[in-house]
Chains A and B, each alone.
Chain A
Amino acid sequence: MSATLFGQSVLSGIFAGSLYALMGLGMSLSWRYLRVINIAHFGLVFLAAYMTYEFAGVRGYSALAVALLLIPLFFVLGVIQQVLILRFNVNEFSSLIVTYGLAIIAEAVIQLIWSADFVRYENRALHGNVEVGTLLLPVADILLVVIAVGLCVATWAAMRFTWLGKALRAGLDNPAIAAAFGVPNQRLLLLVSGFSAALASVAGVFVALLYTLAPSQILSWLGVVFAAVLLGGLGNPLGLLAAGMLIGVSEAITMAITAPSWAPVVPFTILILLLVLWPQRV
Chain B
Amino acid sequence: MRGRDIVGATRRFMLAAGLATSAALAATAFQAQAQAPSGPPIRIGSTLALTGPLAQTGAIHKIVGDLFVAQLNARGGLLGRPVEWVLLDDQSKPDITRTLYERLITVDKVDLIIGPYATAGILSAMAVAQRYNKVLVHSTFGIPKMAAYDRQFPAWPLGIDPEKTMPNDLLDALASIGKTPKSIAIVTSKFPSVQFVAVGAREVAKARGVKEALYLEFEFGTRDFGPIAARVREADPDLLFVGAIGLEGNQLLEALDKLNYKPRNHFYVYPTPGPLATSPLGNDAMATTAFENLPPLNKNPEAAAFAKAFTEAATKAGLPYTEPETQAGASWSMWEILTGAIKATKSLDDKVLADHIKKNGSDTVLGHISFDGQNNYGKNLMRTKQVQQGKWVIIWPKDMITPGYTVQGK
Residues of A within 8 A of B (CB): 2, 4-5, 8-9, 11-13, 15-16, 107-108, 111, 114-120, 122, 129, 136, 138, 141, 211-212, 214-217, 220-221, 248, 251-253, 255-256, 259-261, 263-264
The answer to whether B55 and A16 have CB atoms under 8 Å apart is: no
The answer to whether B318 and A111 have CB atoms under 8 Å apart is: no
The answer to whether B318 and A115 have CB atoms under 8 Å apart is: yes
| Nearest CB in chain B to that of A258: its residue | B216
B63 CB to nearest A CB, Å = 10
Bound complex: CA A4 to CA B230 (Å): 9
Are A255 and B319 CB-contacts (below 8 A) given A216-B56, A261-B218? no
Are A216 and B52 CB-contacts (below 8 A) given A5-B230, A129-B258, A136-B258? yes
> What B residues does A248 contact at CB under 8 A?
224
| Nearest CB in chain B to that of A257: its residue | B227
The answer to whether A261 and B234 have CB atoms under 8 Å apart is: no
Residues of B within 8 A of A (CB): 50-56, 58-59, 92, 190, 216-219, 221-224, 226-228, 230-231, 234, 246-247, 250-251, 255, 258-260, 272, 274-275, 278-280, 317-321
> What A residues does B278 contact at CB under 8 A?
120
> What A residues does B258 contact at CB under 8 A?
129, 136, 138, 141
> What B residues does A13 contact at CB under 8 A?
224, 226-227
The answer to whether B190 and A261 have CB atoms under 8 Å apart is: yes
> What B residues does A217 contact at CB under 8 A?
53
The answer to whether B259 and A118 have CB atoms under 8 Å apart is: no
The answer to whether A252 and B224 have CB atoms under 8 Å apart is: yes
A8 CB to nearest B CB, Å = 4
The answer to whether B55 and A120 have CB atoms under 8 Å apart is: no
Dominant SS at the A interface?
helix
Are A117 and B51 CB-contacts (below 8 A) given A256-B230, A260-B218, A261-B217? no
The answer to whether A9 and B227 have CB atoms under 8 Å apart is: yes
A42 CB to nearest B CB, Å = 13
> What A residues does B234 contact at CB under 8 A?
2, 4-5
Show 16 A/B contacts (Cβ-Cβ < 8 Å), sorted by A.
Answer: A5-B231, A9-B227, A12-B230, A13-B227, A16-B223, A116-B55, A116-B58, A117-B320, A136-B259, A214-B53, A214-B55, A217-B53, A220-B223, A248-B224, A251-B224, A260-B217
> What B residues does A263 contact at CB under 8 A?
218-219, 222, 224
The answer to whether B319 and A117 have CB atoms under 8 Å apart is: yes
> What A residues does B231 contact at CB under 8 A?
5, 255-256
Are A118 and B251 CB-contacts (below 8 A) given A111-B55, A138-B258? no
> What B residues does A118 contact at CB under 8 A?
56, 246-247, 272, 274-275, 320
| Nearest CB in chain B to that of A119: its residue | B320
The answer to whether B56 and A116 have CB atoms under 8 Å apart is: yes
A268 CB to nearest B CB, Å = 13
| Nearest CB in chain B to that of A252: its residue | B227
The answer to whether B227 and A12 have CB atoms under 8 Å apart is: yes
Most A-side CB within 10 Å, residue of B190, B259, B274, B319: B259
The answer to whether A120 and B275 have CB atoms under 8 Å apart is: yes
> What B residues does A259 contact at CB under 8 A?
216-218
From the candidates A115, A138, A256, name the one contacting B319 in the complex (CB within 8 A).
A115
> What A residues does B318 contact at CB under 8 A?
114-115
> What B residues does A16 contact at CB under 8 A?
223-224, 226
The answer to whether B226 and A12 have CB atoms under 8 Å apart is: yes
Are A108 and B227 CB-contacts (below 8 A) given A114-B318, A118-B272, A260-B216? no
The answer to whether A220 and B226 have CB atoms under 8 Å apart is: no
Are A216 and B53 CB-contacts (below 8 A) given A116-B59, A117-B321, A122-B280? yes
The answer to whether B217 and A220 have CB atoms under 8 Å apart is: no
Bound complex: CA A22 to CA B59 (Å): 32
The answer to whether B274 and A117 have CB atoms under 8 Å apart is: yes
| Nearest CB in chain B to that of A127: its residue | B257
The answer to whether B247 and A212 have CB atoms under 8 Å apart is: yes
Bound complex: CA A2 to CA B227 (Å): 12
Are A212 and B275 CB-contacts (below 8 A) given A114-B318, A115-B317? yes
